[in-house]
Chains A and B, each alone.
Chain A
Amino acid sequence: MDDTAEKLKSDWFLPIDPSEKNDEFIAVESKSFLSEAWGRFKKNKRAVFGLIVVIFFILLAVFGPLISKFTYDEQNADVLNVLPNPTYWLGTDKFGRDIFTRLCYGARISLFVGFVSALINLIIGVVYGGISGYVGGKTDMIMMRTVDIIYAVPSMLYVILIMLVLGANVKSILIGICIPGWIGMARQVRGQIISLKEQEFALAALVLGASSRRILFKHLTINAIGPIIVQLTFLVPQAIFTEAFLSFVGVGISAPMASWGSMAQDSRQLITMYPIQLLWPTLAICLTIFSLNFLGEGIGDALNPKNR
């Protein structure tokens, strides 16, 4: 002990210069909220798998028809119901149409319906739910009862009625999905806004003199972004599924246009002889919906700050 004491000499130690004092220094690298969430997302294998599959289908929808030699409605009586081979990658259907090409066109319709309806539902739901939750009182009461009335009518009824008026096409499917589709988002956002608006950062903005619009969109909605994105990623598969279902029961996309649902319906009749024709559209629907659900779950976990 004494030896060490001798070895330490007093001139080794100097008082620190006050200007060098750095007690407010933050060692950790500055990271924005989203880059941190991306770091967490990357660690979730299922979510990354979901993202890759979704990107794959998007690429298929955009570039698939370009690399294929056939069109979706080109019939060829010489090659009815052939099995997959080098010319017809996934085989042909009962009219001799190339299934791969039709699958790509089906992906266009399914993904278009899924993402566009989700976007419309996002905008309507966030604005409606945000206003309802923020204003509160009687306005909230009236707005939410309106929502209840819209929700009370079965959503299929809207779709079928609109089909009758506007005809069976993508536009009427979109409108039919969107009329009741934004309700879940509106309710979710309203609940978030109600709990956030009592928090001190919202009161601070109020005291600073911020307008209601500024508080609602700059402070409250941005803090509810996690649940909103999660809700959004569940809206997409829901819309894709609705479109497939409608086309399957025969009120959706009309022939010769291809959608995954109508392809499944066409091949259903040949299920005992050529079951592989049914495999492709169902596989596409299942994979997309699974992946989008994984993706939604992964984004939800990544955006939850408690998982930090």
Chain B
Amino acid sequence: MKVISQFLRFDGGDIINEKLLEVKDVCKYFEVKRGYKEPQYVKAVNHVSFEINKGETLGLVGESGCGKSSLGRTLLRIYEPTSGSIKYRGDEITHLSKHRLLPYRKKIQMIFQDPYASLNARLTVGEIIAEPMVIHKMYNPKHRIERVQELLKTVGLKPDHIRRYPHEFSGGQRQRIGIARTLALDPEFIVCDEPISALDVSIQAQVINLLEKIQAERGISYLFIAHDLGMVKHISHRIGVMYLGHIVEMGPSNEIYRAPYHPYTKALLSAEPIPDPKSARTKKRILLEGEIPSPINPPKGCPFVTRCPYAMEDCQVAMPNSYKFGDRLVACFLYSPRRLRQRENFSIEPLLNKKQED
């Protein structure tokens, strides 16, 4: 299966069709010990594959606990992947030793969720931003200070903030300090793990605009993890939808928002609030029944089978493959060639409306 992304242009940033990161069949299982019983596994990330091109933003959405953050952390080798392969510019980095991974650390970076927890409270801002350069032995001490001041300016702070401590800054300012720290290494790929969810709405745009500006200037690729659907649509070129450790649908963001294919994506997008009471009242919401199954005991077939309004017999038995439609991938039996042949029309909307009237 190949994910294709092409022809997408974003204001400012150009996507060059050049694979930066290739993720293939990556799994991350966490062992849970239960006394004397056999160890059980939380299947946080389950056979996930995707590619990210240079200058591209891939959004990753899904509800809490679906494995978005675990996936991001596995890519950065904070967690060791259970199986699968991660390639950076064609180089296998899945099982590199800590020492041999070091040059790749410069290129692959992360922005964290909580701006209060992600900065060491005992260090000054100058020390925090200079640290990556110290670790990688870049520049001499005097040059480092100049570069820290430069980076502070880049993220819209003042060079004389260098001697301040993190607790003196607001949440948005701290998040920008965190961004300056990652930029100190000139990374090519940044995992943004819900960088705006801990921020005030009025500050979110500030950080998002900064991320977009940096992308336009430096051609950085992002993996943008979030649960704010509107924000993901705004910043992403492509979107992956995760459910219980699986990517159930992936494709260009505009297309997914216009016409979601996978039943879970449909439900997820219908839950997005609309900032207009009139149209919000007329909007039909798909209310899913039940809870997410435990990732320790996921359903045998399709992960979504327990809550899917369209579940069929096949779904109970086997996990559907990802079926390709143009640029999009959908992991659902409704879109298998056999089913498609059975249905004359591609749309499954009538089914959906009937369910609502019941």
**B residues neighboring A (CB under 8 Å):** 73, 76, 78, 101-102, 105-106, 109-110, 112-114, 117-122, 131-132, 135-136, 156-158, 161, 163-165, 167-169, 173, 178, 181, 185
Contacts and interface: CB of A to CB of B under 8 A. Distances in A.
A19 interface: no
Given A33-B165, A199-B117, A223-B122, A24 B105 contact: no
Given A208-B131, A209-B136, A203 B112 contact: yes
A204 B187 CA distance: 14
A214 to B, nearest CB: 7
The 8 closest A-B pairs by CB, nearest first: A209-B105, A200-B118, A200-B112, A200-B117, A208-B132, A201-B120, A222-B122, A207-B110
Contact of B120 (A25, A30, A223, A305): A223
B118 A209 contact: no
Contacts of A201: 117-121
B110 A30 contact: no
Interface of A: 24-26, 28, 30-33, 199-201, 203-211, 214, 219, 222-223, 225, 305
A25 B158 CA distance: 8
A207 B132 CA distance: 10
A10 to B, nearest CB: 30
Most A C-beta atoms less than 10 A away, residue of B101, B102, B118, B185: B118
B164 A26 contact: yes
A208 B135 contact: yes
A207 B110 CA distance: 7
Contact of A223 (B114, B121, B163, B167): B121
A30 B118 contact: no
Contacts, number: 77
Given A203-B78, A225-B122, A208 B105 contact: yes
A222 B78 CA distance: 22
B121 A204 contact: no
Contacts of A207: 76, 78, 105, 109-110
What's the dominant secondary structure at chain A's contact region? helix
B168 A30 contact: yes
Given A26-B168, A201-B118, A209 B135 contact: yes
Contacts of B122: 33, 222-223, 225
A15 B105 CA distance: 47
B132 A209 contact: yes
A211 B99 CA distance: 9
A52 B131 CA distance: 40
A211 B131 CA distance: 12
A26 B112 contact: no
Contacts of B119: 201, 204
B167 to A, nearest CB: 8
A199 B114 CA distance: 10
Contacts of A205: 120, 131
A32 B161 CA distance: 13
Contacts of B102: 209
B110 A204 contact: yes
